[in-house]
Structure 1
Amino acid sequence: MIFFYNMLKISFFNGNFRKFKRNYLTDLVMKNILFLFLIIGLLIGCATKKKFTPQELQNFENLVNSKSFKIESNWAQPRATGALMRLQNTGLFPPGSNASMVDISGNANYFTIKNDTVSGYLPYFGERQMGGYPNSSKIGIEFKGVPKEYKVEKTDKGNFTINFSINDSNSRSENYRVTIRLFPNLTSSIYVISSHRTSIEYRGRAKKIDDDNED
Structure 2
Amino acid sequence: MKSIYLLIGLFIIATTSCKSSKSTASQTEIDALHSMVTNKQFRIESDWAYPQVTNAMQQVLSSGLLQPGSAAGGINLIGNSNFLRISGDSITSYLPYYGERQMQVAYGGGDSAIEFKGLVENYKAVQNDDHSYTISFEAKSNSENFNVFIRLNPKLNSDMSVNGMSRNIIRYSGVVMPIKE
Aligned identity (percent) is: 35
1:67-124 deviation line (CA, Å, top 9, x unaligned): 1111100000000111221023311122111111100112100010112101111001
Aligned match of 2:84:
111
Counterpart amino acid of residue 98 in structure 1: A
Q: How does 1:56-95 map to 2 (within 5 A)?
A: 56-95=29-68
How far apart are the structure 1 equivalents of 2:62 and 2:25? 43
Q: 1:164-183 alignment to 2 at 5 Å?
A: 164-169=137-142, 171=143, 174-183=144-153
Partner of 2:155: 185
TM-score after normalising by structure 1 = 0.73
The answer to whether the 8 Å contact 2:161/2:169 transfers is yes
State the Cα distance separating 1:50 from its structure 2 match.
3.0
SS state of the match for residue 71, structure 2?
coil
Q: Residues 1-215 of structure 1 correspond to what in structure 2 (within 5 A)?
A: 41-43=17-19, 45-46=20-21, 49-131=22-104, 133-169=106-142, 171=143, 174-210=144-180, 215=181
Q: Which TM-score applies when normalising by structure 2?
A: 0.86
The Cα of 1:40 is off from its aligned counterpart by 5.3
Deviation per residue, 1:37-88 (Å, 9 max, x gap): 8865432x52xx3322333312221121121111100000000111221023
**RMSD (Å) for aligned C-alpha atoms:** 2.0
Partner amino acid for 2:119?
A: V
Paired with 2:67 and 2:17, the residues of 1 have a C-alpha distance of 31
Matched to 1:155, the amino acid is N
Residues 130-169 of structure 1: per-residue CA shift (max 9 Å, x gap): 2262542331111111121111111122111111111113
Greater share of residues in helix: 1
Greater RCO (Cα-Cα under 8 Å, separation 6 or more): 2
The structure whose residues are more often strand, as a share, is: 2
Largest Rg, 1 or 2: 1
Structure 1 CA distance for aligned equivalents of residues 14 and 172 of structure 2: 29
Question: What's the secondary structure of 2:18's corresponding residue?
Answer: helix
Q: How many aligned positions are there?
A: 171
Q: Which runs of 5+ in 2 are unaligned?
A: 1-9
Matched letter for residue 42 of structure 2 = F
Which sections of structure 1, spanning at least 5 residues, go unmatched?
1-32
